[in-house]
């Protein structure tokens, strides 16, 4: 049975098309900088938003029409596998991502949950083998169930630490079974509500202990997977430990984890941290830790994680520029951690939303490639930092100066002349690339 009988395989038709079920900019086979768009972008569909999310919000009941829902949770999960692969194939996306609870019901005990996961991942594996569609990453949901009220690895209750370990152990086994490329940790409840009753050093030490156990277990089962941490400053916790890229890198360095972990950066989480997406990507790149991207956008007027589909070309251009400069993002990818608005409740909206996101990233990629080809940013940086190419600047970079030698230099050169940035001109010229 088809879940999307009215939608055929989505094709690239260019900007002249009137067909809403067509790509206008994303041409998977178009070659840019020696690689196809498909290879550059490595798009993934997020199981939770596309197959599980129901359109409810804190004030309203579900709105989404989803024909895979039945009264039997296990049957619903099986239907979602069927619907999911039909969707991925028709959309032409090669990867998907999930939390354990997205794919199988938790049942009444951990044992039942693990058995459900085995049954569903057998089905998923079958579909993957048939279609060639791959797992970008999976993760354990250690934030929804009430047992995580005080956190998971950072919980004050050691039994919760143990339960979380069981979930991650299973998650890594599933990752191996399905040939997952990456494994994500997002610590939604790994934070605190109040410092009045929080032993912050103990909680952080425990999270590090937990990550080392995961690294050890992956080695034990011989699963060569890239671990990723996804920073987010707040929501649901008041303060989350993996606040942003820089904070997370400090944590990884402190606990000797940089060899195993990179970052999965989400656009909306960057905004919540008071950063731009490209800031977070640039910081990660400065540590050689750009792992993967969660593609979405927030709403500038709202202070929470709205997880909208990305439609802002400015943002995707600057993000894709960083990805190109990084030499690509594999084994990571671009995961649409984005949900249709509550008012876009039809099944077909899932296609329209992903097409919008894919086209927006394709435009970003094309603009970024052109910016790179023209040396738009490199020329500007060369101009701006020219004083470090020769003379005293080069001597500083070469480690030939000290405070005394520089003080002597400054006495001779104290009439300082700075150059204007002409920043408005730069921004206006950048706009010419956003077509």
Give me the residues that bind Ca ion (CB under 5 A), please: 266, 294, 305, 307, 337
Q: DSSP assignment of 371-434, as one string?
A: HHHTTHHHHHHHHHTGGGTSHHHHHHHTT---HHHHHHHHHH--S--PPP--HHHHHHHHHTT-
Min separation Cβ 230 and ligand XLS, Å? 5
Nearer to ligand XLS, 50 or 321 (CB): 50
Rule CB under 6 A: is residue 232 a binding residue for ligand XLS?
yes
In the region spanning residues 257 to 286, those forming contacts with ligand XLS, defined by CB under 6 A, are: 266
- Distance (Å, rounded) from C-alpha 259 to C-alpha 362? 32
> Which listed residue (21, 26, 47, 186) binds ligand XLS by CB under 6 A?
186
Q: Show Cβ contacts of residue 229 under 8 Å, excluding neighbours closer than 6 positions.
A: 184, 185, 186, 187, 242, 248, 252, 261, 262, 263, 264
What are the catalytic residues? 99, 102
Nearer to ligand XLS, 186 or 361 (CB): 186
State the binding partner of 139 from ligand XLS, Ca ion, none, CB within 5 to 8 A by kind.
Answer: ligand XLS
Nearer to Ca ion, 242 or 307 (CB): 307
The candidate with the shortest Cα–Cα distance to 229, out of 265, 190, 270, 185, is 185
Rule CB under 6 A: is residue 305 a binding residue for ligand XLS?
yes
Say if residue 323 is exposed, middle or buried (CB neighbours under 10 Å; 0-12, 13-18, 19+): buried
Rule CB under 6 A: is residue 139 a binding residue for ligand XLS?
yes
Min separation Cβ 276 and Ca ion, Å? 16
Secondary structure tally for the chain: helices H, strands E: 16, 14
- Distance (Å, rounded) from C-alpha 246 to C-alpha 282? 10
- Distance (Å, rounded) from C-alpha 122 to C-alpha 81? 11
238: cis peptide before it, omega within 30°?
Answer: no
Binding mask 324-363 for ligand XLS (x = CB under 6 A): -------------x--------------------------
> Which listed residue (100, 203, 242, 294) binds ligand XLS by CB under 6 A?
294
Min separation Cβ 189 and Ca ion, Å? 14
Min separation Cβ 272 and ligand XLS, Å? 9
Nearer to ligand XLS, 336 or 376 (CB): 336
* Paired tokens of 160: 């919760």
| Site residues (vs ligand XLS, CB under 6 A) | 99, 139, 184, 186, 230, 232, 266, 294, 305, 337
């Amino acid at each position: 049975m088809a879940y999307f009988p009215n939608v055929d395989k989505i094709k690239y038709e260019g900007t002249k098309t009137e067909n809403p079920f067509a790509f206008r900019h994303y041409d998977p086979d178009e070659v840019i900088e020696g690689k196809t768009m498909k290879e550059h972008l490595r798009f993934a569909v997020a199981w939770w938003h596309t197959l599980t999310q129901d359109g409810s919000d804190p004030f309203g009941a579900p709105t989404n029409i989803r024909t895979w829902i039945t009264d039997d949770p296990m049957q619903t999960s099986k239907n979602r596998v069927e619907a999911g692969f039909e969707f991925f194939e028709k959309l032409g996306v090669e990867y998907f991502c999930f939390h354990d609870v997205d794919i199988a019901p938790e049942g009444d005990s951990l044992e039942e949950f693990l058995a459900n996961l085995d049954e569903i991942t057998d089905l998923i594996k079958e579909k993957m083998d048939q279609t060639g569609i791959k797992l970008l990453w999976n993760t354990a949901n250690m934030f929804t169930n009430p047992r995580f009220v005080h956190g998971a690895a950072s919980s004050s209750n050691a039994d919760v630490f143990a339960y979380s370990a069981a979930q991650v152990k299973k998650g890594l086994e599933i990752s191996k079974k399905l040939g997952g490329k990456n494994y994500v940790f997002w610590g939604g409840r790994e934070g605190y509500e109040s410092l009045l009753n929080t032993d912050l050093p103990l909680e952080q030490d425990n999270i590090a202990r937990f990550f080392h156990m995961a690294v050890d277990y992956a080695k034990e089962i011989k699963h060569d997977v890239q671990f990723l941490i996804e920073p987010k400053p707040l929501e649901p916790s008041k303060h989350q430990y993996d606040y942003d890229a820089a904070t997370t890198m400090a944590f990884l360095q402190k606990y000797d984890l940089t060899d195993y972990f990179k970052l999965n950066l989400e656009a909306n989480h960057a905004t919540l941290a008071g950063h731009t997406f490209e800031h977070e990507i640039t910081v990660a790149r400065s540590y050689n830790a750009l792992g993967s991207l969660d593609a979405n956008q927030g709403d500038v007027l709202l202070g929470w994680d709205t997880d909208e589909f990305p439609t802002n070309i400015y943002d995707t251009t600057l993000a894709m520029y960083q990805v190109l400069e990084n030499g690509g993002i594999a084994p990571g990818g671009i995961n649409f951690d984005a949900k249709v608005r509550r008012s876009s409740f039809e099944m077909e909206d899932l296609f329209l939303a992903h097409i919008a996101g894919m086209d927006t990233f394709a435009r970003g990629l094309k603009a970024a490639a052109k910016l790179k080809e023209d040396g738009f940013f490199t020329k500007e940086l060369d101009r701006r930092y020219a004083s470090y190419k020769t003379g005293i600047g080069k001597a500083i970079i070469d480690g030939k100066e000290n405070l005394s030698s520089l003080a002597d230099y400054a006495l001779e050169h104290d009439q300082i002349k700075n150059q204007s940035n002409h920043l408005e001109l730069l921004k206006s010229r950048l706009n010419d690339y956003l077509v």
